[in-house]
């Protein structure tokens, strides 16, 4: 799955009367590859609808960017059929039993996620923002038929919970090689690493198996690899969208300060 991350770009969320000062991190599929503009704003990096320029670039840094009370309230757009709802709920249930974050249908929470279709894209904001004065809807695009796999949905949900892409970690050059010569012109920003100034990793190691990592041919212009792992060149899991990794869960549980009943990867600390 290819991705674009919008950083520091004002955007207008569909249905909102005005633009929001949000970064948009959009996981894009074929539908919008040739365009750098969608209703939500200008796409800069690939697959995220993200929030403001205060983000850290592996995990969000500020408590205000985490979902309040560790509750992730959500609804579905009217055009979601039973199968689409089942896919999303299956993905959420798989997360729910591994973390202290509660996933539940929205009741009266002022800001809440709406799972939506739009073209073929997978897309989500990064982290929470208080939108109660802007309609309250935080869209996550898990569009059918392009974005229905459990790992794709979990990827978008982790963005919303506060995760950026794994391969954007500042230390990624120790673990992967970026083959700039194979990247589609105009897509290079998808591969730019972040800096330690805006990044927290919560002491956790780099994770090639993360559901937040790109695959080896992401944004390739010629079917040759754009990303290859350095220490395990035969790694076939990089870019997997089957399911969140063990480390993804550990990071989530650290980010939301879950208690020690939940897996926090203490044996893996970097």
124: left (phi over 0), alpha (psi -120 to 50) or beta: beta
* Closer CB to Zn ion, 3 or 209, in the complex: 3
Q: What radius of gyration, in Å, describes the C-alpha atoms of the chain?
A: 17
* Closer CB to Zn ion, 40 or 47, in the complex: 47
Please tell me the distance from the alpha carbon of residue 158 to that of residue 50, in angstroms, as a whole number. 12
Interacting stretch for Zn ion, rule CB under 5 A, among 3-11, 224-232, 243-251, 261-269? Answer: 3-11
> Catalytic annotation on 137?
no
Q: In whole angstroms, how close is the CB of 123 to Zn ion at the nearest point?
A: 8
Contact of 217 with 206, CB cutoff 8 Å: no
Q: Is 179 annotated as a binding residue?
A: no
Site string for Zn ion, 39-68 (x = CB under 5 A): --------xx--------------------
Interacting stretch for Zn ion, rule CB under 5 A, among 19-27, 72-80, 170-178, 202-210? Answer: 19-27
**Residue 27 forms beta bridges with which residues?**
47
Q: Is 213 annotated as a binding residue?
A: no
Q: In whole angstroms, how close is the CB of 122 to Zn ion at the nearest point?
A: 7
27 near Zn ion, judged by CB under 5 A:
yes
Catalytic residue among 40, 45, 137, 156: 156
Binding residues with Zn ion: total (CB under 5 A): 4
Beta strands in the chain (DSSP E): 4-5, 25-27, 37-38, 41-42, 47-48, 71-76, 102-105, 112-116, 122-124, 137-142, 176-178, 227-229
3 near Zn ion, judged by CB under 5 A:
yes
Q: In whole angstroms, how close is the CB of 226 to Zn ion at the nearest point?
A: 15
Closest to 49 measured CA to CA, from 142, 111, 133, 180 = 142
DSSP letter at 97?
T
DSSP string over 212-230: TS--TTTTBSSSS-SEEES
Q: In whole angstroms, how close is the CB of 3 to Zn ion at the nearest point?
A: 4
Q: Is 7 annotated as a binding residue?
A: no
248 near Zn ion, judged by CB under 5 A:
no
Please tell me the distance from the alpha carbon of residue 63 to that of residue 256, in angstroms, as a whole number. 9
23 near Zn ion, judged by CB under 5 A:
no
Contact of 151 with 177, CB cutoff 8 Å: no
Site residues, Zn ion (CB under 5 A): 3, 27, 47-48
Binding residues for Zn(2+): 155, 159, 165
Catalytic (active-site) positions: 156
Binding residues: 155, 159, 165
């Amino acid at each position: 799955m290819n991705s674009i991350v919008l950083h520091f770009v004002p955007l207008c969320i569909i249905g909102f009367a005005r633009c929001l000062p949000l970064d948009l991190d959009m996981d894009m599929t074929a539908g919008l590859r040739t365009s750098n503009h969608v209703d939500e704003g200008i796409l800069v990096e690939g697959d995220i609808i993200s929030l403001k320029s205060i983000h850290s670039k592996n995990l969000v840094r500020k408590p205000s960017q985490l979902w309040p009370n560790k509750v992730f309230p959500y609804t579905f757009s009217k055009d979601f059929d039973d199968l689409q709802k089942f896919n999303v709920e299956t993905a959420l249930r798989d997360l729910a039993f591994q973390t202290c974050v509660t996933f539940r249908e929205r009741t009266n929470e002022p800001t809440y996620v709406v799972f939506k279709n739009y073209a073929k894209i997978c897309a989500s904001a990064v982290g929470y923002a208080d939108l109660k004065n802007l309609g309250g809807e935080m869209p996550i695009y898990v569009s059918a038929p392009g974005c229905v796999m459990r790992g794709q949905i979990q990827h978008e949900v982790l963005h919303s919970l506060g995760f950026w892409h794994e391969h954007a970690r500042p230390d990624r050059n120790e673990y992967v090689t970026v083959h700039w010569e194979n990247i589609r012109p105009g897509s290079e920003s998808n591969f730019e690493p972040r800096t330690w100034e805006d990044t927290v990793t919560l002491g956790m190691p780099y994770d090639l198996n993360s559901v937040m990592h790109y695959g080896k041919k992401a944004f390739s212009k010629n079917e040759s690899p754009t990303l290859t792992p350095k220490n395990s060149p035969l790694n076939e899991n990089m870019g997997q969208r089957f399911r969140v990794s063990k480390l993804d869960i550990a990071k989530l549980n650290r980010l939301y300060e879950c208690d020690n009943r939940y897996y926090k990867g203490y044996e893996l600390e970097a």
